Amino acid sequence: MHSRIPPILVFPFAAMLFLYGSAEARPRLGVVIVVDQLCGAHLTRYAPLFTGGLARLQEGGVLFAEAHHDHAMTLTATGHAALSTGCYPNRHGIVGNYWHERASDRRVYCCDDSTVQIIGDPENKGRSPRYLMTGALGDWLKQTWPDAKVFSVSQKDRSAIMLGGLKPDGVYWFDDAKGRFVTSTYYCETLPDWVAGYDCFPMREKAIREGWRKGWPEDSYLLANEDNFPAENDGVHTTFPHLYDSAAAVARTPSEWLVETPFSDELLFDFTRVLITSEGLGRDSIPDLLCVSMSAIDYIGHSYGPYSQEVLDALLRVDAYLLDFLASLDTLVGVGQYTVVLSSDHGVMPLPEEILREGEYAERILRADAKQHIEAAGRQVADALGIAQPLIIGQTNGLMLNTKAGEERGIRPPDLRQAVAEALRKIDYVEEVMTYEDLTLPRAAARGYRAMYRQSFHPDRAPDLVIRYKENVLVIDSPHGTTHGTPYRYDTHVPLIFWGSGVSPLAGPVKDRVRTIDVAPTMAVLLGLAPPAGVDGVVLRDVVGDAAR
């Protein structure tokens, strides 16, 4: 059975909207849950251990076993925007957490906005979705029902903002410097009373007082790596318990320590319950939208790796938190009155040391060393062309070149890019180097990973060169921990589950490959909406069922 249908087909959409568009059929609340850095392999590797919310969603919903991000730059802001807009980064514009803006010739952060302020903290940089170039699911909802309510929350500003879209009713994130949930004047002029009155201190102090200790019997952790794995964290503080007063944590504030533990997810869900009650989500026949992005797994996974005992412990807590949250939705919104989709913004590479001991090739390259190798290649080209100035002038989401210096020597920018690319290809851990022309010109070849890179960059936000390192090569600042950002399976493969009102459970997982850009159009249909023309994603037939046949 083919699991996807294009949203431009009129008859299937008429049937679907007839089914889901009536007030009696559509849910009162749509809930988008993103677990930052949740890998697709987590659900299978640890399946016997999940007995809470993850189990409830899988058993009662539609699980896609092969859901992938279909863009190459698998980064937090990019993945959240793909989930919320149904578009590739070359259309939604969020090509990374940071990028080099060609028009202004400067490095920008995806949520920076100097025209707004953080409420109560005017000295801090403002945040908004100003760089998001397309509307998101919440915007589609409010275009159809202006009275629909749309809210988004996370520990990270970029996660909450990209899920919330252009015109939500509220977006809140946790400011670990201030120890409270905040927003910016883009969304409102003053904090609602319930936000201003929400006190993070008791839950934070409880976590610090008790510390992060294993929450399950020792044999529950046998499917993970050994606790004392030297490539984790700082190489010293690698084992439970993790306490705030340890040498590894003493330099951080209590709130900074909190966000790197699973207890920050617990705090997020507590805040979200107050939001649902205070804002009256899911109270009437007009569907509302709630987006929740949980960041703790990402912080923990970067430090300890995806198959560490720390990540497993945090996943088991996520399983428990989700079960409690679904029970709260049953009470606050009503059983059968809401629909949930759960996914992730990206996966992550296993620790290369773990891959090596399995007998496979892997390599950890310190970013400082890679930078030296890259700059050496640039100097070779500059010397050969008689250019006295450095050619590589920036490394953000790729390489920016001093094309003006080349033009002064009569060398066109495309030719300069090709010359530097040829030099970079000689670095032994480099698999491919793509030029600006490869990434943006219609005539450029788009096959294999190249297609994923072309989908990752908008012409105004594309670098001069992008390097694809070999698979299982980790270029990172630290001799410990790991990261993500490649087109390889360990970074693109994520869970995807639809569950709740309008979703008929399947006997087993769907094995067809689907994309994360399919989430927003599918959720739109479940909410009674027709996705806008031109989105890159499609509606998943396995979710919407007979109405599409």
Please give the average pLDDT of every successive group of 10 residues along the chain, which has 549 residues: 40 47 82 98 97 98 98 98 98 98 94 96 92 98 98 98 98 96 98 98 95 97 97 95 72 90 98 98 97 98 98 98 98 98 98 97 98 97 96 95 97 98 98 96 78 96 98 98 98 98 96 98 97 96 71
Backbone angles phi, psi at 286, to 5 degrees: -80, 120
Structural domain range at position 431: 363-471
Considering the domain architecture, whether residues 58 and 172 belong to the same structural domain is answered as: yes
Task: Examine residue 420 and state whether it is found in any structural domain, yes or no.
Answer: yes
Task: Examine residue 92 and state whether it is found in any structural domain, yes or no.
Answer: yes
Q: What is the pLDDT of residue 512?
A: 96
Q: What is the pLDDT of residue 549?
A: 34
Cα-Cα-Cα-Cα dihedral of 443, 447, 453, 454, to 10°?
Answer: 30
Task: Examine residue 42 and state whether it is found in any structural domain, yes or no.
Answer: yes
Q: How far is CA 66 from the centre of its chain?
A: 17
| Distance separating alpha carbons of residues 175 and 118, to the nearest angstrom | 10
User: Residue 180 carries which side chain, given as an amino acid letter?
Assistant: R
Q: What is the pLDDT of residue 5?
A: 43
Task: Examine residue 476 and state whether it is found in any structural domain, yes or no.
Answer: no
- Is residue 511 within 8 A of residue 505, CB to CB? The reply is no
Helices (H), 236-357: 254-259, 263-279, 296-304, 309-329, 352-357
Considering the domain architecture, whether residues 309 and 443 belong to the same structural domain is answered as: no
**Nearest residue to 300 (alpha-carbon basis) of 270, 327, 265:** 265
CATH number for the domain spanning 270: value is: 3.40.720.10
Last residue of a domain, one of 471, 503, 523: 471
User: Residue 100 carries which side chain, given as an amino acid letter?
Assistant: H
Considering the domain architecture, whether residues 467 and 319 belong to the same structural domain is answered as: no
Considering the domain architecture, whether residues 427 and 496 belong to the same structural domain is answered as: no
**Nearest residue to 436 (alpha-carbon basis) of 133, 100, 91, 80:** 100
Q: What is the pLDDT of residue 1?
A: 34
| Distance separating alpha carbons of residues 385 and 377, to the nearest angstrom | 13
Question: SS3 for 317?
Answer: helix
| Distance separating alpha carbons of residues 46 and 56, to the nearest angstrom | 15
| DSSP category for residue 17 | H
Please state at what angle helix 519-526 crosses helix 76-85, rounded to 10 degrees.
40
Task: Examine residue 478 and state whether it is found in any structural domain, yes or no.
Answer: no
Q: What is the pLDDT of residue 20?
A: 52
Considering the domain architecture, whether residues 508 and 443 belong to the same structural domain is answered as: no
Q: Taking CA 200 as the corner, what is the angle to CA 195 and CA 206, rounded to the nearest 5 degrees? A: 160
Q: What is the pLDDT of residue 511?
A: 96
User: Residue 197 carries which side chain, given as an amino acid letter?
Assistant: G
| Distance separating alpha carbons of residues 73 and 273, to the nearest angstrom | 33
| Distance separating alpha carbons of residues 175 and 191, to the nearest angstrom | 14
Task: Examine residue 38 and state whether it is found in any structural domain, yes or no.
Answer: yes
Q: How many domains does the chain contain in total?
A: 2
**Nearest residue to 169 (alpha-carbon basis) of 80, 81, 279:** 279
